[in-house]
Amino acid sequence: MKEYEVYSSMRVPKNSKIIIRLDGRAFHKLASDLNLVKPYDENFYKIISKVCLDLFKEFSPLFVYTFSDEISLLLDNVPFDGRIEKIDSVIASFTAGSFVIHYGAEFKKPPAFDSRIIPISDGDILRYFRWRQDESWRNCVNSHGIYYLKNSYPDNEANDKIKGMKLNEIHEFLFQNGINLNDVETYKKRGIAVYRKYNKVEGFNKKENKNQTSYRSYVYTDWELPIFSEDFFKSIGVIE
Ligand SMILES: Nc1nc2c(ncn2[C@@H]2O[C@H](COP(=O)(O)OP(=O)(O)OP(=O)(O)O)[C@@H](O)[C@H]2O)c(=O)[nH]1
Ligand SMILES: [Mg+2]
C-alpha cells in the first residue's frame, strides 16, 4: 500500500533556506467567538507572540515574524529531511496546539492553521519580509478604518465604503476623526518578531592570563520593530 502515498516523497530543494508561513483558519469567526477586541486585541497578540516563541524553541528558525493571524518562520536547518507533508503538518499542528495551550479559553471549535513552504534565496529574504510587513501596515490601516466606519454606518455600508477607499484615503479619514495612526503602538503597524540577540560578556581567561570577550545569545521578542531594511537583517545576523 505504501505506493499510494504519492506525496510523501516530495521534498524541499536541498541546501535552500525555506520560509514556512502559517495562517489561522477562519480566525474571523474565532475572533467573534472569543470576543476579541477590535481593531486590535492586545491579549491575542501576546498569545501569538508566545506561540512564536514555542516555534522558535522547537524548530530553531533564524527569524520569526507575525502580525494578525499569520506567522512566518525563516529556517536554514530544514527539519524532517525536507519532507513537505511532514513539515507542513507537524508545524501547523504544533502551532495550533501551542495556541490552545496559551489561550486557555473554551473554544467553540478546535483552532487550526494552514501552512505553506516557500524556498527562498538569501537575496529575497528582505523582499519577503518587507512584503509581509507592508501587509501588516495595510491590515493596520484597514482594520482601524473599518472599525471606525462601522461606528457611523451599518456593517454592509461600512464594508462597501472601505473597499472603495485607497490606503491614504482611509488614513486621511481616520485623521479627520481624531485618530492618528502614527501614534498607534509599533507592533500594530509593523508586527512582532522573535530572533536571537547577543550579549557581550567580558571575562578573564585564566589559562591564557588575559581578558576575553565572548557573546552569549538569548531569544528576544521584538515589539518595537523598525521598518525592515538590509541593515536590520544584517545587524541580527539573518543576512550577510
Ligand atoms: N477582533 C480582532 N480580530 C482579529 C485580530 N487579529 C486578527 N483578527 C481576525 O483574524 C482575521 C485574519 O484574516 P484572514 O486570515 O484573512 O481571514 P480568516 O478568517 O482567518 O480566513 P482564512 O485565513 O482564509 O481561513 C481578521 O480578518 C480578523 O477578523 C485582532 O487583534 N482583533
Ligand atoms: Mg486566517
At 95-127, the pLDDT tens digits run 999 999 999 988 999 999 999 999 999 999 999
Phi, psi for 145 (deg, rounded to 5): -60, -50
Provide the grid cell at 239: 543576512
Atom of ligand 1 nearest to the CA of 42: 31
70 CA → ligand 2 middle, Å: 7
Domain for residue 29, yes or no?
A: yes
Distances (CA, A) of 239 to 2, 54, 122: 41, 23, 7
Residue 57 CA to chain centroid, in angstroms?
15
Query: What order of strands is seen across the sheet that includes strand 63-67?
Result: 113-120, 17-24, 70-75, 63-67, 192-205, 210-222
Answering whether pTM is above 0.85, one says yes
Domain for residue 54, yes or no?
A: yes
**Is the predicted pLDDT of residue 141 greater than 90, yes or no?**
yes
Residue 98's CB is within 10 A of a number of other CB atoms, namely 20
Which residues does ligand 1 sit against, CB inside 6 Å? 23-28, 31, 36-38, 40-41, 44, 68-69
**Is the predicted pLDDT of residue 75 greater than 90, yes or no?**
yes
Atom of ligand 1 nearest to the CA of 25: 25
Total domains in the chain come to: 1
Domain for residue 196, yes or no?
A: no
Phi, psi for 202 (deg, rounded to 5): -90, 125
pLDDT digits 0-9 by tens, 159-206: 998 999 999 999 999 999 889 999 999 999 999 999 999 988 999 999
What is the CATH classification number for the domain harbouring 33? 3.30.70.3000
What is the domain extent for residue 15?
Answer: 2-125+185-189
